[in-house]
Amino acid sequence: MNKDLYKILEVNKNASESDIKKAYRTMAKKYHPDKNPDNKEAEQKFKDVAEAYEVLSDPNKKARYDSMGYDAYNGGPTQNHANPHDMFANFFNSMREQQENEQLKRQHTIIQKIALTMEEVYHGVTKKFKYKRSVKCGTCNGKGGENIVRCEACNGQGVQYRIIQTQLGRMQETISCNSCSGRGFKIGKTCNSCSGQGLVRVDEILEVKIPHSVMPNQHIVSRNKGHYYADRSGERYGDMVMLVEINQDKYTIIEDYGLMSKVDIPYEVMVLGGEFTFDSVDGSKVKVPVSKLSDIGHKLKLKGKGLKNPNQSVRGDQYIMLDLKFPTEITEEEEKLLNELKKLKG
């Protein structure tokens, strides 16, 4: 019988490894015997799904199947069908271990706010800043002390295993050993330098290149610049994540990498027209004309004076919103002229 393994998993032949894994997870849940008791058809589909995933998730087996087809592949001497239930349990154990590793990474990642001016955002900038992080203690080499003995509770593995009952059946769960806090060993004599923690706090100086046109709350990541930790796979460092904060008092970022600024204009210029000098974010001074009888809130556009789109070669525009600069004092001559204007308006 010539089975179409791609059709069984409902994926196409160009499906990625993650697409195949996702499809297997969905189909295996759907046809799992625990969810379909006494259903022979579902049981067979569950076996077919497991077989399809066994082949398509292995690059060598997949290549052989693609070139030879199911009948030729199935008749080969190296075919070895796995237990579908074991495959399903291993799949979820692998996912759980990956999630635990990602969680450990996040726990040892440092988040640091970094303040930028709009001029720095416009041009890009290199910043140096000082921070503290935990590194491996050099005195005890990260062990926390001397007379290290293997933890008997976990046999030095740092983890323990237990069987749990889920809707999908019995599965093996991996948990951190409570007896040794996941270290796999216990300390006889505590290190004085790190008080048994295996870690010491140090000052670090990090130089970071900030690209132009970053956005508020954007994350800039420096890999392995966070806190030290060790897991079952070896020694690791978390990341340094910089959270961008931008001073937008003078320039506000708007859509399409544009900028908006509010400028106070004297009432005589708003009425009679004229011009003013605008300090552009690129450092230049621009003469901006104002039309006669301009309204409060009227917007003027300086084309190409905004931020540069990182994905294109064009810049956004700078918009200027006019506001009335109300005088705080008035001369006798100005008062006289205004009274004459008042009489004229009658």
| Bridge pairing between strands 149-150 and 185-186 | antiparallel
Query: Any alpha helices (H) in the chain, and if so which ranges?
Result: 5-9, 17-31, 40-56, 59-74, 84-107, 118-123, 267-272, 332-345
Q: According to the annotation, is 256 in a ligand binding site?
A: no
Residue 242, CA distances (Å) to 74, 108, 111, 133, 203 in order: 53, 14, 6, 14, 17
- Is 99 known to sit in a ligand binding site? no
Residue 218: which of 290, 141, 318, 116 has the closest Cα?
116
Burial class (CB in 10 A: 0-12, 13-18, 19+), 331: exposed
Cα gap 25→17, rounded to integer Å: 12
Residue type, 180: C
- What's the residue count for the chain? 346
Structure tokens at 334: 């100005």
154 is in an annotated binding site: yes
How far is the C-alpha of 225 from the C-alpha of 105, rounded, in Å?
11
Whole-angstrom distance, CA of residue 241 vs CA of residue 219: 6
Assess contact for 308 and 212: CB atoms under 8 A: yes
Is 126 within 8 Å of 210 (Cβ atoms)?
yes
Ligand-binding annotation for 140, yes or no, is yes
Q: Is 288 annotated as a binding residue?
A: no
Distance, in Å, from the CA atom of 178 to the CA atom of 154, rounded to the nearest integer, reads 9
State which amino acid sits at residue 52: A
* Contact (CB, 8 A) for 305 and 281: yes
Say if residue 180 carries a ligand binding annotation.
yes
In 3D, which of 283, 288, 281, 285 has the Cα closest to residue 316?
281
| Binding-site annotation: residue ranges | 137, 140, 151, 154, 177, 180, 191, 194
| Binding-site annotation: residue ranges for Zn(2+) | 137, 140, 151, 154, 177, 180, 191, 194
